[in-house]
């Protein structure tokens, strides 16, 4: 590792432009290279400003990307299959050991957090906070026989909170990569870091979630995941060149966010779990699809129609992920898009995570789907993105209508509502 002052000087000289290009795509223009370099320098400079006493201590630059879900909407928490990809929006940090038993973390836009590692038990007052993620990730390492110590970290992020790009999972993976590098000689795999991140989100952060978010942030590239065994998920990376597809990937921010919709989100795994429990199982992936369909008349009386509809979504969406994976592997993007359209309809009709039941006047996600679908016609695809209920939708947009698309969507949802994403091959990593 290099001390922060030397790291800053080398970044300024462009010595790490190649490493940055692996994160943010080919930096074809000098302006693009300058932006990436400037952001990295800003992080190191922030670190030096807050902790000048660590200027000569070995430090490193770390990155953890956001992720986009391509298929498998709400299948992960049922031990199902998902298709996701890491993107070029990320969390970037400069971190170094501080010789204490306390983690000092500064996150731009969120402030300073100090966590004493002598007590690693979950705290009710920390639910939903950055401090909970710091404590939980440290606890996961210690429980696995990998003690961690105190460190200082300065973090910047362009993964928007509430965007469906998994900002909390990106931070969990970032913390895991930092601890793994500073104290464990990088002994833990990124898949293991993802498992620890999920446990942290569930137990410490207080948000029920599956494993897709963390794996999507940790592993990198386009990833097909089978979560039948959550401790040993089967992961397959898919080599597909999206730049040659004739489409651009957009996330549309509807202006609402899902940070305060935990109850609505939690009802989905709870209701799917009720259906699984009827068959003596904990998750739907262990229930036979044909047996489920034969049991619908009884299930309606036991768990209600919405739970049955959500289970229907699971079985159809879970099978669809296999078809999406096969389509990308074969280079057939049009078939992939057709399956994406089916996924979007299933989420809206059966899973019912495109509107908030208690707020019928506010249906921004459904409105975004309607606007985008009208623009696309029979081309491309649009679907709810991530947890749903609010936040974002995902669209694959033909390049020849890109200008019309962005102009129209921005007229409805605001000038910053369209985010162009690129798939990134690197997951959570040590940059330099």
Instruction: Domain ranges for the chain, please list them.
Output: 4-238+425-430, 242-421
pLDDT tens figures, 167-188: 889 999 999 999 999 999 999 9
In 3D space, the residue among 61, 60, 68 whose CA is nearest the CA of residue 92 turns out to be 61
pTM above 0.85, yes or no: yes
pLDDT score for 153: 99
pLDDT at 351: 98
pLDDT of residue 68: 94
Q: Residue range 279-307: average pLDDT? A: 98
pLDDT at 70: 97
- Structural contact between residues 113 and 131, judged by C-beta atoms closer than 8 angstroms: yes
- At 272 the pLDDT is 98
CB atoms within 10 A of CB 151: 25
pLDDT given for residue 265 in this prediction: 86
Give the number of C-alpha atoms closer than 13 A to the C-alpha of residue 380, restricted to the C-beta side. 24
Report the pLDDT value the prediction gives residue 167, as an integer from 0 to 100.
Answer: 86
Which of 261 and 84 is assigned the larger pLDDT? 84
The pLDDT of residue 29 is: 61
Candidate from 30-39, 81-90, 311-320, 344-353 with smallest mean pLDDT: 30-39
Distance set, CA 120 to CA 44, 140, 176 (Å): 28, 9, 15
Give the whole-number percent of the chain exceeding pLDDT 90. 83
Distance CA 339, CA 277 (A): 29
pLDDT tier at 278, thresholds 50, 70, 90: very high
> CATH topology for 242-421?
Alpha-Beta Plaits (3.30.70)
Rounded to whole angstroms, how far apart are CA atoms 276 and 79?
A: 11
- Tokens 């949802």, located at residue: 413
Instruction: Calculate mean pLDDT across residues 7-29.
Output: 85
d(Cα 339, Cα 144) in Å, to the nearest integer?
A: 40
pLDDT score for 408: 98
pLDDT > 70 in the chain, percent: 97
Q: Note the maximum CA span of the chain.
A: 69
What pLDDT, on a 0 to 100 scale, did the predictor assign at position 86? 95
Q: What rounded mean pLDDT belongs to the chain?
A: 93
Architecture of the domain defined by 4-238+425-430: 2-Layer Sandwich (3.30)
Q: What is the pLDDT of residue 423?
A: 93
Same fold, 4-238+425-430 and 242-421: no
What pLDDT was estimated at residue 361?
84
- The pLDDT score that the predictor gives to residue 258 is 55
Per-residue pLDDT at 231: 77
Average pLDDT in the 129-156 region? 97
Do you know the residue count of the chain?
432
- At 27, is the pLDDT very low, low, confident or very high (cuts 50, 70, 90)? low
pLDDT in tens, 111-124: 999 999 999 999 99
Sheet containing strand 418-421, strands side by side = 381-384, 392-398, 247-253, 418-421
pLDDT of residue 163: 63
Is the pLDDT at 357 greater than 90, yes or no? no
């Amino acid at each position: 590792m290099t001390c922060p002052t030397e790291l800053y000087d080398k970044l300024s000289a462009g010595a790490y432009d190649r490493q940055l290009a692996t994160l943010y795509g080919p930096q074809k223009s000098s302006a693009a290279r300058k932006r990436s370099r400037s952001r990295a320098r800003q992080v190191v400079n922030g670190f030096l400003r807050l902790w000048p006493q660590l200027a000569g201590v070995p430090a490193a630059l770390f990155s953890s990307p956001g992720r986009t879900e391509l298929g498998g909407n709400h299948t992960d928490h049922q031990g199902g299959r998902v298709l996701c990809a890491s993107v070029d929006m990320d969390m970037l940090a400069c971190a170094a050991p501080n010789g204490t038993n306390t983690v000092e973390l500064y996150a731009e836009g969120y402030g300073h957090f100090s966590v004493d590692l002598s007590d690693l038990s979950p705290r009710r007052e920390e639910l939903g906070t950055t401090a909970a993620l710091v404590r939980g990730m440290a606890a996961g390492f210690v429980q696995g026989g990998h003690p961690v110590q105190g460190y200082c970290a300065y973090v910047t992020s362009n993964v928007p909170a509430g965007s469906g790009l998994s900002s909390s999972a990106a931070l969990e993976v970032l913390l895991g990569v930092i601890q793994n590098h500073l104290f464990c000689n990088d002994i833990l795999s990124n898949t293991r870091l993802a498992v620890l991140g999920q446990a942290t989100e569930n137990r410490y952060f207080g948000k029920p979630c599956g494993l897709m978010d963390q794996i999507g942030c940790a592993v990198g590239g386009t990833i097909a995941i089978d979560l039948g065994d959550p401790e040993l998920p089967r992961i397959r990376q898919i080599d597909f060149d999206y730049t040659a597809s004739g489409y651009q990937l957009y996330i549309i921010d509807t202006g609402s966010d899902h940070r305060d919709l935990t109850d609505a989100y939690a009802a989905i795994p709870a209701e799917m779990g009720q259906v699984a429990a009827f068959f003596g199982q904990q998750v739907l992936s262990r229930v036979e699809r044909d047996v489920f369909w034969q049991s619908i008349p009884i299930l309606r009386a036991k768990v209600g129609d919405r739970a049955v509809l959500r289970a229907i979504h699971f079985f159809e969406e879970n099978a669809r992920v296999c078809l999406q994976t096969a389509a990308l592997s074969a280079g057939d993007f049009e078939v992939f898009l057709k399956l994406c359209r089916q996924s979007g309809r299933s989420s809206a009709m059966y899973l019912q995570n495109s509107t908030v039941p208690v707020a019928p006047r506010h249906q921004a996600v459904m409105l975004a789907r309607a606007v985008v679908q009208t623009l696309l016609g029979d081309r491309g695809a649009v679907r709810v993105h991530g947890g749903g209920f609010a936040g974002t939708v995902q669209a694959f947009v033909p390049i020849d209508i890109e200008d019309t698309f962005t102009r129209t969507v921005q007229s409805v949802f605001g000038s910053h509502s369209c985010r162009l994403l690129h798939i990134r091959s690197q997951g959570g990593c040590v940059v330099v």
